[in-house]
Structure 1
Amino acid sequence: MSVAEKKAGDAGVAAPTKRQHKDVYDLAGQAFRMIDRYETPPYPSTYALWFAYVSRSNTDLVSTVDEMLEKGGDISAYEIDEVCKSHLNEGDVQAAQQTIGRQFESQLASVLTMIQKSVSDSESFNETLNQIEEGLPQTASTDSIDAIISKLMVENRRMAEQSMELNSGLRESQKQIEKLNRELEEVRSQSMRDPLTSVANRRAFDARLTAEIEACTAPDSELCLVLADIDHFKKVNDTYGHRVGDEVLKVFAAIISENIKGQDMVARYGGEEFAVILPRTDIESAYGLIDKIRLQFSKTNLIFKQSRQGLGKITASFGIASHKPGIDAKGFIEQADRKLYLAKDLGRNQVQAEGIVDAAA
């Protein structure tokens, strides 16, 4: 009994059979084919959706997806997120990552089996050659030599065929591993990204901020942190619905993203709040950049599709802090947060920054 089987037995649960493993891998393959067919992004939530769909394990989800496919023939990232929220739980999405890992293990095990078979075949071929070599001194007749040559030719053809099979199998496995590696990298990337706005999520922000503070050791190091909050966002949701609110969030994230540099990071901090990390940026430059973003967002004309009427002026408030030696991530965030709340208290739609007195819009 294997260790896995013993543990399963101790827990009172039957260990999965080879047939069950095969069924899971077959379904996983179908799920990946659905991702390719409908050109949906290979995120954990996408994989979880298609895995549940092809396995027919969730009838409500199957019906919902069928209706969406009949209407439009494709499914957007937003719709995938909505279906997952309605029909799947967190465990289903986590299982997506685990299944990709199991597929890696299965593919690598297949490669190892092929290599082991090749080694075994080589040893068998070597043994045959040794036997022929041992028989050569006693061989004198032409018929015996012909028989040896014939045997060598048969063995050579057999090894050539096996070598071709091995090369073909290894090439196919290499393709599968490369594909899985790309998908796993996308999963890792997605785990650090906000699914709605496609900017970094809170987890990625926390890691990056800590790293930037640790790197900010030289006396002339400059690092700014911005916290931003969309003004009266609850009113937008209450008036037009959460779908419209989500579009506003995406527009705001896009405006910030298109204005910052490659070294900078924008992240969805939570709800309608965003954070921007600006390495190697002084407070005056940070203020100029963020006020430009504030003005651009306030002038954006957002249209409600159903009525074709404008949503009215939607604005955002910003608070900027400059890092000081000895301040950790928590203290840095609190500094920026105080400036953000000051901007809101002073009337919103403005930028408040440390050391800049005339910061009101």
Structure 2
Amino acid sequence: MNDETRIVQIGERAFAALRERGILPSPENYLVWYTHLAGENPALSRMIRLLEQNRDSFDAKRCRELYARYFLRSDMQRTLAEATDRIKGLTERLGDLLAHSGEESARASSRFEAAARALATTCGLEEIRRVVVALDAEARRMAAETRTLGCELQRSSREVAELQSHLERMQREVETDPLTGVGNRRHFDVALKRLAARSLEDGTPLSMMLADIDHFKRFNDTFGHDVGDVVLRLVAGVIRRGVRDNDVVARFGGEEFAVLMPGVELAEAAAVAERLRATVAGRRLRSREDGRDLGMVTLSIGLSAYCPGEPLDRFFRRVDSALYEAKQGGRNRVVVRDVEDRLVNEEELARAGRAGEQARASA
């Protein structure tokens, strides 16, 4: 049997298995059964055989559970799949409820119209009383229907709010470095694209710094990874507290951190970088066990500003080049490159800072 014939036969068996169990042959459900029948995932096949031996119900819900377990590899993928199912169920429930409410409203309208016609042709007090009683009963029934609809809408609103909160929490977790609590590389990449686009649109300045912990490997090799983790958390905390809330802080690599500062000119960003460097250098590490001095931590920092419209990789390379020069120049220092990739000295930065202050004062 050639491969093409085998694939067709397995596909037909997968469709037959889904039909036999009354399961919609969606791409996800088909993938579960095709993979099982083809023997491509032994763990999945063992689970399906176990479920069948235990005579567990094998429906669409069970298929979705298997798909989530064996084919969705990340927490975010699973969360999005669960969210999709919940939203689908929510919209179907609301659709049914609103359709039912519409049908009930139409029937009530017909009954009200019939009562109005009866009143127009009735002159006896007893007949009028019966019509009024019927109208009162109909009004009460419609009020109850309306309350039910209102309660269901409130419940659905709460579900949507919970779902939104869960997705936002997952998004934060996906973009957060678990050790230090600041953003990770993914968070940085997303923020850089967003802030660069804003800079291009309205001319908002954007500065970036890369900070690298000097001799970090020596801390790890000498004192162990636990001390290395303490150093990483220390530096992350100093940087996070030393910048504004709307600045983006991310752990970019093993011992490297990146900071994006929207709305900040290069001279001001250089002053921030120097404060961060001095703050970290002013800390000394001591062992919690015996109080011995573990030495000081220092940072080398590279800094530059974004030229609106330039490729983002060029912007990053310029900042990285400044960081490299800070390392080569003796470490524990800040090196700045301008948008033309020229090294900027302290005098030029001070002059640019004064010019910026004067411009803001006259604005």
Say yes or no: does 1:6 pair with 2:12. no
Relative to structure 1, the CA distance from residue 147 to residue 116 in structure 2 (aligned partners, 3 Å threshold; closer, same or farther) is same
| Structure 1 residues 159 and 278: CA distance shift in structure 2, 3 A | closer
1:172 aligns with 2:155: yes
Tell me by how many angstroms 1:16 deviates. 7.3
1:295-349 Cα distance to aligned partner (Å, 9 max, x none): 1112223344344444321222111223446632111111111221222223222
Alignment partner of 1:290 is 2:310: no
The answer to whether the 8 Å contact 1:213/1:328 transfers is no
Residue ranges of structure 1 left out of the alignment (5+ in a row): 25-51, 58-88
Within 2, Cα distance between the matches of 1:191 and 1:358? 39
- Provide Cα deviations, 1:112-154, integer angstroms capped at 9, x if missing partner: 3332222222112112223334444554544433332332222
Corresponding position of 1:198:
181
| Alignment partner, residue 285 of structure 2 | 302
2 CA distance for matches of 1:294 and 1:304? 22
Q: Is the 8 A contact 1:315 1:349 kept in 2?
A: yes
Query: Is residue 276 of structure 1 aligned with residue 259 of structure 2?
Result: yes
Which residue pairs with 1:266 in the alignment? 249
C-alpha distance in 1, partners of 2:223/2:268? Answer: 36
Q: For residue 344 of structure 2, what is the aligned residue in structure 1? A: 356
Residues 301 and 333 of structure 2 are in contact (CA less than 8 Å); yes or no, is this contact kept in structure 1?
Answer: yes
Q: Does 1:320 align with 2:303?
A: yes
Does residue 99 of the first structure (1) align with residue 82 of the second (2)? yes
- 2:26 alignment partner, SS class: helix
TM-score by length of 1: 0.68
Rg (Cα) greater in structure:
2
Corresponding residue for residue 238 of structure 1: 221
Q: What secondary structure is seen at the aligned counterpart in 2 of 1:145?
A: helix
- For 1:235 and 1:319, locate their aligned partners in 2 and report how far apart those are by CA, in whole Å: 22
Q: Please say which of residues 157-166 and 132-141 is displaced more in the overlay.
A: 132-141
Letter in 1 for 2:228: G
How many aligned positions are there? 295
Give, in whole Å, the separation in 2 of the partners of 1:96 and 1:296: 40
The alpha carbon displacement at 1:93 in A equals: 4.5
Give the deviation of 1:17 after TM superposition: 3.6
User: Could you tell me which amino acid in structure 2 is paired with residue 318 of structure 1?
Assistant: I
Partner of 2:232: 249
Deviation at 1:161, TM superposition (A): 1.8
Change (3 A) 1:130 1:16: farther
Q: CA deviation at 1:187?
A: 2.7
Structure 1 position 163 matched with structure 2 position 146: yes
Residue identity opposite 2:230 in structure 1 = E
In the TM superposition, what are the counterparts of 1:99-248 in structure 2 within 5 Å?
Answer: 99-136=82-119, 139=122, 141-216=124-199, 222-248=205-231
* Runs (4+) off by over 6 Å: 218-221
Whole-Å separation in 2 of the counterparts to 1:145 and 1:218: 72
Q: Which amino acid aligns with 1:95?
A: R
Hey, what's the Cα distance between the residues in 2 that align with 1:248 and 1:132?
81
Q: 1:115 to 1:286 in 2, by over 3 A?
A: same
Q: Distance in 2 between matches of 1:219 and 1:121?
A: 54
Amino acid at match of 2:183: A
Over 3 Å counting, the alpha-carbon distance change for 1:165 and 1:279 in structure 2 is closer
- Contact persistence 1:226–1:336 (CA under 8 A): yes
Aligned Cα root-mean-square deviation (Å): 3.6
State the Cα distance separating 1:273 from its structure 2 match.
Answer: 0.9
Work out the CA distance in 1 between the residues paired with 2:30 and 2:84: 25
Alpha-carbon contact 1:197-1:253 (below 8 Å) kept = yes
Unaligned segments of structure 2, at least 5 residues: 1-18, 35-56, 338-342, 348-363
> Cα 1:19–1:337, aligned 2, differ >3 Å: closer, same or farther?
closer
**Contact 1:97–1:187 at 8 Å: present in 2 too?**
no
The amino acid that maps onto 2:33 is V
Q: Please list the CA deviations of residues 19-66 of structure 1 after superposition, one character each: whole Å capped at 9, or x if unmatched.
A: 659x98xxxxxxxxxxxxxxxxxxxxxxxxxxx9xxxx9xxxxxxxxx
